[in-house]
Amino acid sequence: MAFFTQIRRGFATLDRRSALGLGVSATALIACAVPTASWAQDATPADQQSAVTDQVETEQAIVVSGIRASLQGARARKRDAQVVVDSITAQDIGALPDRSVSEALQRVPGVTLQRTSDNRDPARLSGEGGGVFIRGLSFVRSELNGRDAFSAANGRALSFEDISADLLSGVDVYKNPSADMIEGGIGGTINLRTRKPFDAPGFVGAFSGDINYADLRKKSFMSGSGLLSNRWDTPLGEIGVLVSYSISNIGNRTDSISTGRYVPTTVSAADAAASNGTLAAGDTVYIPNSMGYRRIDWSQKRTAFDGSLQWRPASNLTLTGEALISKATPHDIEYAMGDWSQPETYNPTYTYGSAGELTSGVATNRNLNMDTRAGSQTKKTQDYSFKAEWQPDDHWNFSTDVQYVKSTAKVYSMTAFTGVSVPATFDFDFTGNTPQLSITPTDSSQSFTNKSVNWWAAAMDHLEDNEADEWAWRGDVEYKFNDGGFLKSIKAGARWTDQHAITRQTGYNWSALSAQYGWMEGKEVYLDQTGYPGGTQIADLPNQSSLVKFNNFFRGATANPTSGLWFPSASLVTQGTAHAYDYLKATESNGWGWSPLSDDFSTTTGGGGINDQTQKTLAGYVTANFGLEESGIGRFDGNIGVRVVRTKMSARGSAASVGTISTSCDSSVVDCTNFNTALAFATSGVSAEDTSGSSSYTDILPSFNFRYMASNDFQIRFAASKSVARPSFSQLNPYTALSFSFDSTGVANGTGVDGRTTGFTGTAGNPNLKPTKALNLDLSFEYYYGRSNSLTLGLFYKDIKDYIFSGLVQQTYTSNSGVQQVFDVTQQTNGSHGTIKGGELAYTQFFDMLPGALSGLGFSGNITYVESSGGKNTAVNVFDNNQTTNAGLELPLEGLSKWSYNVAGIYEKYGISARIAYNWRSSYLLTTSAANINYPVWSDSYGQLDGSFLVSVDDHFKVGVQATNLLATRTRLRVGDPSLKPIYSWTATDRRVAMVVRTVF
């Protein structure tokens, strides 16, 4: 009752002064652009500790400002925070200093950016950068305004590359948390901050637009956004309203030359003799099992509507409500070609490297395969939230927060393949910085462009339909002591969440069409035919292919088949699998042929199907903020607290499956007891009911943050905490596939626990997985001087346990006939221990002491070193034997570069705001098992130069240009184990140049 009494009193003594708002945003999502102005926002519990910074930023006039103002805001947030944090602020109306959130995050010390959205799919690089790692770890929690933000594909993390920088006022990267922060990130927490109407003193109208040109794609993409915000004094109190709409378009092209996996091959005596001493019998050489070209045209449209309402009925009560709807629709079309049979070991033209890898030569009579692939996604998020903040007096502060968020993601992939009966000659040289690969007909009298020698080969489709939603409530109370003593405040709170995620996925449904392999010879349906003779005939089938020329491939730096090759047409694969089947069914012959997947995901095998997960959490925390302005050791402050969280998981998956036995057993020769048991179990099968599982666990997460101010300019921090990262929903999938391992005589030959031999094997998900846990230690030294300058050194150490990896366990299953049997099952399991340690050095300097125009010069840079030991990599799909095998190899952690750095030259004076920035990271393991290659792939070191030049016409209007990848840097990937890693692919992508207009009034 006291709460409502206070509200009535507040209305009676309504204060209508036009004070700046302290309201906190309600979450928004992902993948969209919202225009921005120079506002600051207090968005998370940890942000509240930066009150001085927020007040300074909020009280600034709304003007079009530049890079220096952004760096000043970031410096102030880091300096005043009571936790270890680095920030990016967007003072400009258009956004962060980079074109996307991912690209902006890579400027932060300790943060690195992966160049592909899916590390297992290295052939397809991301248009705006992919996964984000903090201190070499992918265990990163994503938030928007201090609340959960996730993508439906996995229900855990946010795809940062889907977020336009125009959405944000800033980004905070928390590296060691306090107890009031939400659990879930071992590497760290990335919080994206948006703005609210009470963040500005009055009316704001903001508009921005740009034309972004991609030079390889030779196409321009237009984007724009608008925002209106105002606040009014009314008889009911102060009211603020903000509405915004954004549309963002972007695109790029990637050209790549690649080999396949390098296969170890033993040199025969005959080849050794023919090589005249170049090779020796018994030597091992490494031959790539394919070579080819790939071109991908990618584009994405992002839209967002955001509306927020704030009401202050009394000076001590603020209510904030927000609704945001965002949508992203990326799609791509890909043309890839190459050979699909391994070259011979010896050829007089071949040259091998020092490790025996094939580097150059001429291979004749190769078989060509072409494919056209269409990929598209539709990702949508709706986010609704409400927050109330009440401060009844100088001591107490109460807040409550409710959120509902729903995210959906649909994925479509359709590929059609063609072949050509004209043998090809591959003239290749992979020894230089630019690969050379020329593909021509072995018989010069023939031509690839003759449609009648090209035939329909195969087709493949893949579908996903994912959704996730969550209700979340949070309540916090803080009591402040105003007596100047050691204890400054005590804060406590609770949080409840109920999340539901369903992933529906098929496998990759590949099947031959008219002919794909040698034994199908004579069954080909050629591209100029209407169908298989005697079968279905479709008059328009010959028009479902097109002649594709790789014009300006690799910017003309390497030879290409300029005469062109016949590919399935883009229109065939972009209009749905049913549309493709309407034509491709005419190629079927002799009982084989491709049929499209059903949208009944429950029929999917191999770890796909339907994965229905729920997660409920209940957390409580208490933290004490302390400090003294004067003491025996000087000035210090900090906080100490503990967070306790209870997690309950439940999972329901596709039905368990049991394999068949195709061998037999002769009891007169061997003991057939186990074989007969397996045969009976396989014949009976297991229940077709859905498999399910559940688990619950409690985590106790203490934290301590201490800051010592050695002087007004120099401070030292120490932080210690425990943190967790929950397993992904895909790892918790309870799907089970049982199988039997016997040789042709009926003898068991499967591998079981402790290396023993068994005939009963299987693969399963694991709904009983527990979180990965870490002890985090940070020590930093921070020197802030002048108006904008700083020099900081951060040292960190993480002790991590319960990595999730693929292991063998014994489990008992019961057949439909009631027989129980122990199986040795490969599944994700907790275990393994490792450490991460390193340091981050950052330096920002503006040279105000220089005369005249030179005083506008500035520099910003940082360098990070990360070292790891122990730990385990995780197979994304435990049902893929290649992944589970390779994830168990002695390899470094995926995504971890030992070194990374950023350097930026800045100029800010006379209305000019310019920056030239270079980002670099050292080589790292991209994946333990790349798709199709089924072997580890490594990324070479990569550096990229970006720049911007903007001019302020007046206080409200700015024009300029931004450029990405100015040096047209190529991405180079390697394949193999640490002892042999020949280059696997070279990829060139666009320079992107944008003409930018920004205004605010």
Check: CB of residue 161 under 8 Å from CB of residue 129: yes
Average pLDDT, stretch 336-340?
86
Phi, psi of 614 (to 5 degrees): -130, 145
Residue 436: inside a domain: no
pLDDT of 536 > 60? The answer is: yes
CB atoms closer than 10 angstroms to residue 259: 25
Residue 699: inside a domain: yes
Residue 450: inside a domain: no
Residue 712: inside a domain: yes
Nearest to 581 by CA among 456, 721, 738: 456
Check: CB of residue 291 under 8 Å from CB of residue 338: yes
Phi, psi of 748 (to 5 degrees): -60, 135
pLDDT, residue 561, reads 67
Where is pLDDT greater, at 380 or 477?
A: 477
- Cα Rg of the chain, angstroms: 31
pLDDT of 280 > 80? The answer is: yes
pLDDT, residue 12, reads 37
pLDDT, residue 92, reads 60
Say which range, 47-51, 77-81, 275-279, 608-612, has the weakest mean pLDDT.
47-51
Average pLDDT, stretch 474-500?
95
Q: Under DSSP, is residue 2 helix (H, G, I), strand (E, B) or coil?
A: helix
pLDDT of 5 > 90? The answer is: no
Cβ-in-10-Å burial (0-12, 13-18, 19+) of 888 comes to: middle
Give the 3-state DSSP-derived string for 739-800, with helices as H, strands as E and coil as C. EECECCCCCECEECHHHCEECEEEEECCCCCCCEEEEEEEEEEEEEECCCEEEEEEEEEEEE
Nearest to 74 by CA among 792, 733, 559: 792
pLDDT tier, 31 (very low <50, low <70, confident <90, very high otherwise): very low
| Domain extent at residue 146 | 2-261+291-338+376-413+461-506+603-630+637-739+746-849+857-1000
pLDDT tier, 57 (very low <50, low <70, confident <90, very high otherwise): very low
Average pLDDT, stretch 544-564?
86
pLDDT, residue 20, reads 29
CB atoms closer than 10 angstroms to residue 79: 17
Helices (H), 51-119: 51-58, 67-80, 101-105
The pLDDT mean for the chain works out to: 85
pLDDT tier, 928 (very low <50, low <70, confident <90, very high otherwise): confident
pLDDT, residue 950, reads 92
pLDDT, residue 689, reads 54
Domain CATH code at residue 887: 2.40.170.20
Q: Under DSSP, is residue 514 helix (H, G, I), strand (E, B) or coil?
A: coil
d(CA 388, CA 400): 5
pLDDT of 253 > 90? The answer is: yes
Residue 281: inside a domain: no
Say which range, 72-86, 335-349, 485-499, has the weakest mean pLDDT.
335-349
The DSSP output letter for 852 is: G
pLDDT of 196 > 60? The answer is: yes
Q: And the tokens for 682?
A: 């396989």
Distances (CA, A) of 193 to 157, 174, 754: 16, 13, 50
Name the amino acid, one letter, at 759. Answer: G
Instruction: List all residues 6 or more positions away from 121 whose beta carbon is below 8 Å from its beta carbon.
Output: 930, 931
Residue 357: inside a domain: no
Average pLDDT, stretch 873-890?
69
pLDDT tier, 694 (very low <50, low <70, confident <90, very high otherwise): confident
715's enclosing H/E stretch is strand 714-725
Where is pLDDT greater, at 67 or 481?
A: 481
Average pLDDT, stretch 249-255?
93
Check: CB of residue 993 under 8 Å from CB of residue 250: no
Average pLDDT, stretch 929-933?
74
> Considering its fold, how many domains does the chain have in total?
1
Q: Under DSSP, is residue 537 helix (H, G, I), strand (E, B) or coil?
A: coil
pLDDT, residue 295, reads 94
Residue 688: inside a domain: yes
**Within 13 Å and on the Cβ side, how many CA atoms surround 22?**
19
pLDDT of 8 > 80? The answer is: no
Residues 138-157: tens digit of each pLDDT: 889 988 889 988 877 655 67
pLDDT, residue 383, reads 87
Maximum mean pLDDT: which of 69-73, 442-446, 547-551, 862-866 = 862-866
Q: Which residues pair with 413 in a beta bridge?
A: 375, 462
pLDDT of 659 > 80? The answer is: no
pLDDT, residue 656, reads 60
Residues 390-421: tens digit of each pLDDT: 999 999 999 999 999 999 999 999 999 999 99
Maximum mean pLDDT: which of 317-326, 837-846, 975-984 = 837-846
pLDDT tier, 225 (very low <50, low <70, confident <90, very high otherwise): confident
Residue 579: inside a domain: no
pLDDT tier, 304 (very low <50, low <70, confident <90, very high otherwise): confident
Q: And the tokens for 571?
A: 């229109």
Check: CB of residue 993 under 8 Å from CB of residue 252: no
pLDDT tier, 45 (very low <50, low <70, confident <90, very high otherwise): very low
CB atoms closer than 10 angstroms to residue 867: 12
Where is pLDDT greater, at 63 or 355?
A: 355
Distances (CA, A) of 124 to 29, 372, 554, 675, 985: 25, 14, 15, 45, 11
Q: And the tokens for 568?
A: 């399935």
pLDDT of 71 > 70? The answer is: yes
pLDDT of 500 > 70? The answer is: yes
| Helix axes 51-58 and 67-80, enclosed angle (nearest 10) | 150
pLDDT of 486 > 60? The answer is: yes
pLDDT of 54 > 70? The answer is: no
d(CA 126, CA 131): 10
Residues 579-622: tens digit of each pLDDT: 999 999 999 876 677 889 877 776 665 446 778 889 999 999 99
pLDDT, residue 11, reads 33
pLDDT of 195 > 70? The answer is: yes
Beta-strand (E) ranges in 609-712? 609-628, 635-655, 657-658, 690-709
Residues 758-805: tens digit of each pLDDT: 989 888 888 889 999 999 999 999 999 998 899 999 999 999 999 888
Check: CB of residue 241 under 8 Å from CB of residue 309: yes
